[in-house]
Copies of this chain bind each other. A is one copy, B any other.
Amino acid sequence: MPRPPRADRSTRVTIADVAARAGVSLSTVSRALNGNPTVDPALAERVKAAADALDYTASPVARSLVLGRTQTVAVIVPDLGNPTFQAILRGLSHAAAADDYHVLVADSAESVEEERVLAGTTRRRTDGVILCAPRLPQDELDRLVGGLRPVVLINRTSGEVPSVGADYRTALSTELAHLHELGHRRIVFLAGAPGSVANTARLDAIAAFVAEHPDTEVAEIPCGVDFEAGAAAGTAVRASGATAAVAFNDLVAMGLLSAVQADGCRVPDDLSIVGFDDIPFARYTTPPLTTAAVPATELGAQAWARMRELLEGAEPGHPLTVLPELTIRGTTGRART
């Protein structure tokens, strides 16, 4: 892209204009407008009058340079199309706005390389960066965050870096227990990205559960993380003979639900399905989806709260881990016998 022409600033009103109009020095204007108490009340009034007569507001860029503070934070997400990340961004955005901070968003497109680059470049034009479910391997993540501080991590941890996240492991155990209670003994798990932190946590939960419940079999089916993947897994799920399916997330669950129903399979009579996340649409499927509710919006707000503490120089709070709540709706029922 060709370099755009230099901006025309000739028409912009600066602090000098206000100073001239109020008949004071630049410093006095600066002090008056920033509420510095050492300025004569009457003068301050005159300055403010001049300022809004001229519709003046200090240049954020100039202030950023001198203050070393931009009033902006960066948020890096792996995919802006993912409902969970959208919810996190929304919660974060609202919370930051309430504290008069701005939010720079960047989508890493699930690319580890992009993630690394974006973290660096956005950090330089903001006061801190919030990494949302970064895909970086642990060692690289550990290395990266060092040069990025202040940093807040969502759904990942790294040393003493403040973080917020959901306890996937326990939540998945709860889902399995729910299925077990309904009599399901042959279950399939539609796996997400192999090797990813989120998938590994779920696999751990499954291994632990199976160890404690020898009567139950949980088979893993490589799948994916979106609708299409879930729908595509329909055939394999039915062929498995399982009476229940645990999807990596709600997207997969919905894709599966859609596919098996189109195939004449009744849910939950023939097959029970559980999702994960409780995205906004989960309650509106037919039947409504049983899932583990991750308070994504709240996580976003909490992530901002951590960042804010860091920015204020306060002690970073302990890592926050929320436990997704099992939300039983219509896609789970007693196992067919």
Contact = CB atoms under 8 A, between A and B. Distances in A.
Interface of A: 1-2, 4-9, 57, 59-62, 64-65, 67-70, 72, 80-81, 86-87, 89-90, 93-94, 97, 99-100, 102-107, 109, 122, 124-125, 127, 227, 231, 254-255, 257-258, 261, 280-281, 283-286, 288, 308, 311-313
B122 A106 contact: no
Nearest to A107: B93
Residue among A70, A107, A284, A313 with max Cβ neighbours from chain B (10 Å) = A284
Contacts of A103: 104-106
B9 A68 contact: yes
A65 B69 contact: no
A281 B26 CA distance: 56
Contacts of A59: 65, 124
A281 B280 CA distance: 11
30 contacts: A1-B99, A1-B100, A4-B127, A4-B311, A4-B313, A5-B312, A6-B67, A6-B68, A7-B68, A7-B69, A8-B68, A9-B68, A57-B124, A60-B125, A61-B64, A61-B70, A64-B125, A65-B65, A70-B125, A81-B280, A94-B107, A94-B109, A102-B104, A227-B283, A227-B284, A254-B284, A255-B284, A257-B286, A258-B286, A284-B285
Contacts of A286: 257-258, 261, 285-286
Nearest to A69: B7
Count of this chain's copies in the oligomeric assembly: 2
Nearest to A118: B97
A322 B283 CA distance: 32
A182 B89 CA distance: 42
Contact of A61 (B61, B81, B261, B312): B61
Contacts of A104: 72, 102-105
A285 B61 CA distance: 48
Given A4-B312, A125-B102, A261-B286, A90 B107 contact: yes
Given A1-B312, A257-B286, 4 more contacts: A2-B312, A93-B106, A227-B284, A254-B284
Residue among A70, A227, A286 with max Cβ neighbours from chain B (10 Å) = A286
